[in-house]
Amino acid sequence: MSAKIMAVEGRTARIEVIVDLKDSLLDSEEAILEAFNAGGVLATREALQRFDTDGQPLVVAGQKYFSKGRLSKVYQTPYGEVDMGRHVYQSAHGGKTFCPLEQRARIVVASTPRFARMVSYHYAWDSGRQVSENLQVNHGRAVAPSFVQRLSEAVGAVVQAREEEGGNYHLPPLDQPVATVAIGLDGTCVLLCQDGWREAMTGTLSFYDGQGERLHTIYLGVTPEYGKARFYTRLEQEIAQAKARYPTARYVGIADGAKSNWRFLDAHVSDRILDFYHVAEYVARAAPAVEPKDLKARTAWQAACCHALKHDSGAAAKLLAELEGLPTHGLTPPVIDALEATLTYLRNHLDQMEYARYRDEHLPIGSGVTEAACKTLIKHRLCASGMRWKDTGAAVVLSLRALVLTPQRWSQFWERFNRYGFDSPRLAANEITRISKYPAACGGDFLFKKVWQK
């Protein structure tokens, strides 16, 4: 197996790759992967060199910087490590240095952009150790789990910064006009290193057509916080963006009976729908009071109640009246407590249980999208056996995971990154320009500005 550069002409690099084919197809495929990885390393080195300067001085915020020469650095790529020299700059007074190549090529930590995208995507689904194993087994790339985590945290930090600035992701074009936007929120517990089990929040915006078919869903997740201010701010940003795009849509809130959910939702929706499946659970709790001894009759009553709630106008009020008229003599204390809890629940939310009308108007009646998000967004990644999290680590994973789960947002993030890069803390100003007496050898795009203000 070997790979070598045969010629470089302008933007074209011609690379010869020689593969030693084996007796086994699987062994041949491994040899092919190894050979083309070697070719990828050579091609990436050539591509990186195009982003370097010619070593001439630069001006940053009115201050002259000089090259310290070509200093060697190893970059991680999808194909292997690239060890190369590149110009590193520093002012005549010393202090911090910066590398124009890394800024122009959109290097993340010590990774090329595609490798950073690949690693952080997998980190959204699996632990650093599992991502490291996957890279080794399936891509022939030996990368330490610590680097996987550090690289993913760097990407996640920029994702979070953009979220705090309002996100501004574009809603994708949808196949049908949007008639309804359902807003849901819920929480589930995550084990933190310092605080023990705390509630992380998830929110969803689901877009429906006029027949009640779901067209698109936006997911967001926020790590545990007292007061939930950060979560509510993020959800309000998403709601504002949706209303700007679909001002004539009908905005409905769907959640369980928690007061905090409705304190938030009431300000943003015209329709308040109590999650049907939580109501069904309360119906099941009350069933032993209706049929204390006959289990078959109890099951039949429960099914009839749920059917009536879905299909009959006024069914919720009739159910409440029926349960209020039940005699409690002879019932056990647990059965009485369950009945009282159901009565309280129905009384508090009777106006949110017009399920027959909601169905006729093609509105969703269940918060299953949000309930599922608690599992897919939070539980599946943050609550595996033995996992404990620091807040920063959990926040990175949730930001990456929400971006991956929301259709087209992952690609939008990287398109913007490819265009503007990361805002470098090493720069003293928002702009780098060449000294006027030198030709623009760096290229006309050698310019850095605040990333997410574009």
CA distance 359 to 356: 5
Amino acid letter at 250?
Answer: R
* Six-digit token string for 98: 């910066």
Per-residue pLDDT of the chain (454 residues; tens, 9 = 90+): 689 999 999 889 999 999 999 999 999 999 999 999 999 999 999 999 999 999 999 988 788 999 999 999 999 999 999 999 999 999 988 888 889 999 999 999 999 999 999 999 999 999 999 999 999 999 999 999 999 999 999 999 889 888 777 667 889 999 999 999 999 999 999 999 988 999 999 999 999 999 999 999 999 999 998 889 999 999 999 999 999 999 999 999 999 999 999 999 999 999 999 999 999 999 999 999 999 989 999 999 999 999 999 999 999 999 999 999 999 888 999 999 999 999 999 999 999 999 999 999 999 999 999 999 999 999 999 998 889 999 889 999 999 999 999 999 999 999 988 988 765 333 223 333 333 332 333 332 333 333 333 3
| Helix extents (H) in 95-203 | 100-104, 113-125, 128-139, 145-164
Domain assignments of the chain as residue spans, ordered by start = 1-50, 113-165, 180-275+366-400, 277-356
Per-residue DSSP letters for 223-280? ---STTHHHHHHHHHHHHHHHHH-TTSEEEEEE-S-HHHHHHHTTT-SEEEE-HHHHH
CA distance 109 to 112: 9
Q: Which CATH architecture has domain 180-275+366-400?
A: 2-Layer Sandwich (3.30)
* Six-digit token string for 72: 């060697």
Answer whether 396's CB lies under 8 Å from 403's CB: no
Among candidate residues 81, 86, 115, 91, the one with its CA nearest the CA of residue 101: 86
CA 280 from chain center: how many Å? Answer: 31
Longest dimension (CA), the chain: 98
pTM for the model: 0.86
* Six-digit token string for 123: 């980190």
CA distance 419 to 415: 6
**Which H helix or E strand runs over 420?**
helix 409-420
Q: What angle do CA 318, 321, 324 make, to 5 degrees?
A: 150
CA distance 87 to 96: 14
List of residues 6+ apart from 20 with CB closer than 8 A: 1, 31
**Which H helix or E strand runs over 372?**
helix 368-373
